[in-house]
Amino acid sequence: MTLYSRVRPLAFKLPAETAHDLGKRTLRAAQSTWPTRAALSSAYQYEHPALAVDLFETRFSNPVGVAAGFDKNAEVTHALAALGFGFVEIGTVTPYPQDGNDRPRLFRLLEDGGMINRMGFNGQGMERVKSRLESDGTPEIPLGVNVGKMNSSNEREAIEDYRRVFDRLSPFADYVVVNVSCPNTPDEFDEGSPEHLRSIFETLEAENDREVPILVKIGPDSPDESMFDLVDIVREFDLDGIVATNTSTSRRDLESPQQEEWGGLSGKPIEERSTEVIRTLADYTDGELPIIGVGGVDSAASAYEKIRAGASLVQLYTGFVYEGPSTAKRINRGLVKILERDGFSSVEDAVGADVVDRS
C-alpha cells in the first residue's frame, strides 16, 4: 500500500479544488529546500536510456509530462521534475490575472475515473509567471508554455493576447502551445475558425525570432474534416506539432451523478477518443508531425497505446490526481518492460507503430 493510497480517501473528502490547492502547497513546500527536493527525487525518479525522446531539438529524459492546467502559474515545476516527470507544461497563461469561473468548478467523477472542470482560465497572468520563472529558475526538465487569451477579449484583442504572452514567456520555453480548444471559456467568436487561426500563427511567426517550437492544442470533439483543416493550417505555417487532446463536452456512457455539471470532461472517459484523434492525425500526416498525446493516461499501458497511435510524448492531469506522486515512475518503469516485451529498443522506436507503414 502506497502512502498516497492512504492519503487519497481523505483528500477526496475535500472539495476537488481545495484538495488540488493543498496538494500544490505541499509540492511548493517540498521544492523549496534542497533536502526535500532531493528526497523526492530519490524516491520517485526513474531513469532508463530507452525512455529518452529527442524532439524540438530538446532531450526529454522520459516521455511522460504534466499537462497544462495543473501548474498554471509555474509554482511547482521543480517538484514535478523531482517526481520524475519528463517535462511540464505550465499555463494556460493569459496576459493579465483572471479569476475564472465561480467555485465550485472542479468535480471528480469517481465511478468513471474522470473529472469535469470549468475553471475558465483562472491564473495570475504573464508578469507574475515571468517573475516566478526568473526567481525560481526554470526546471531541469523541458518546459512547455501554454498560452491563452483573456475571457473578455474579442477576436482582434485575442490575437494581441497570444502575441503578448508569447513575447513575455517564450524565452523560458522549450515549446509553446496555442490553446484554442478550451471548452469552458465564454467565447463570442469561433476560436477554431481557419481565419482566426491563420491570424494567430501569422502574428506569432513574426514574433518568433528565437524559433521556439510552436504547437496547437486541439479538442477531442471536432469531426475529422475540421481536424484535417487545422492540420493543413499547421503545415501552412510550418508549426511544430499538435497537442491532442483537450477536455471534452461529451457525456457519453458516464455513471457519476456529477456528469450533470457543465465543463470539460477529462480522464478515463476521454481516453479512447483522444487516442483515436492521435491515430487519425498520425495517419493523416504520415507520422511526420509531432504529436503530444493527452487524455486518460494513467498507466504504462495507456501511455504505450498513445505512443503506438503516434504520440512522441504523452501528458496527464487527471491520472496524476487519481494515482498520486508515483505516477510518472510507475508509468516509466512499466513502459520499459512493455517495450522490451514487444521488441522495441526505445520509446522513439514505438512511436506510431500502429499507424505508420514501415515497409
Ligand X SMILES: Cc1cc2nc3c(=O)[nH]c(=O)nc-3n(C[C@H](O)[C@H](O)[C@H](O)COP(=O)(O)O)c2cc1C
Q: Are 181 and 244 in contact (CB under 8 A)?
A: no
Q: Could you tell me the smallest distance in angstroms from the CB atom of residue 126 to ligand X?
A: 14
Specify the residue, 183 or 287, whose C-beta has the smaller distance to ligand X: 183
Q: Could you tell me the smallest distance in angstroms from the CB atom of residue 345 to ligand X?
A: 27
179 is in an annotated binding site: yes
Residue nearest ligand X (C-beta atom):
69
118 is in an annotated binding site: yes
Q: Which helix (H) or strand (E) holds 89?
A: strand 87-93
Active-site choice (67, 143, 182, 278): 182
Coil/strand/helix, residue 146: strand
72 is in an annotated binding site: yes
119 is in an annotated binding site: yes
Give the rounded distance of the alpha carbon of 236 from its chain centre. 24
Provide the pairing of β-strand 64-66 with 241-244.
unpaired
Cα–Cα distance between 28 and 79 in angstroms, integer? 7
Q: Could you tell me the smallest distance in angstroms from the CB atom of residue 264 to ligand X?
A: 7
Q: Are 65 and 243 in contact (CB under 8 A)?
A: no
Q: Could you tell me the smallest distance in angstroms from the CB atom of residue 174 to ligand X?
A: 16
The reply to whether 154 belongs to the active site is no
Sign of the torsion formed by the C-alpha atoms of 186, 192, 193 and 198: positive
Specify the residue, 51 or 177, whose C-beta has the smaller distance to ligand X: 177
Specify the residue, 77 or 344, whose C-beta has the smaller distance to ligand X: 77
120 is in an annotated binding site: yes
**Burial of 41 from C-beta contacts in 10 A (0-12 / 13-18 / 19+):** middle
Amino acid (1-letter code) at residue 322: Y
* Residue 108, beta-bridge partner list: 115
Specify the residue, 162 or 344, whose C-beta has the smaller distance to ligand X: 162
Kindly report the backbone phi and psi dihedral angles of residue 40, in degrees, each rounded to the nearest multiple of 5, phi listed first.
-60, -45
Question: How many Å is the Cα radius of gyration of the chain?
Answer: 19
Please give the residue ranges that form the binding site for ligand X (CB under 6 A): 67-69, 72, 91-92, 106, 115, 117, 119, 146, 179, 217, 246-247, 266-267, 270, 294-297, 316-319
Cα–Cα distance between 81 and 76 in angstroms, integer? 9
247 is in an annotated binding site: yes
Q: Could you tell me the smallest distance in angstroms from the CB atom of residue 252 to ligand X?
A: 15
Specify the residue, 91 or 324, whose C-beta has the smaller distance to ligand X: 91
Catalytic annotation, residues: 182
State the binding site for substrate. 72, 117-121, 179, 184, 246-247
State the binding site. 68-72, 92, 117-121, 146, 179, 184, 217, 245-247, 267, 296, 317-318
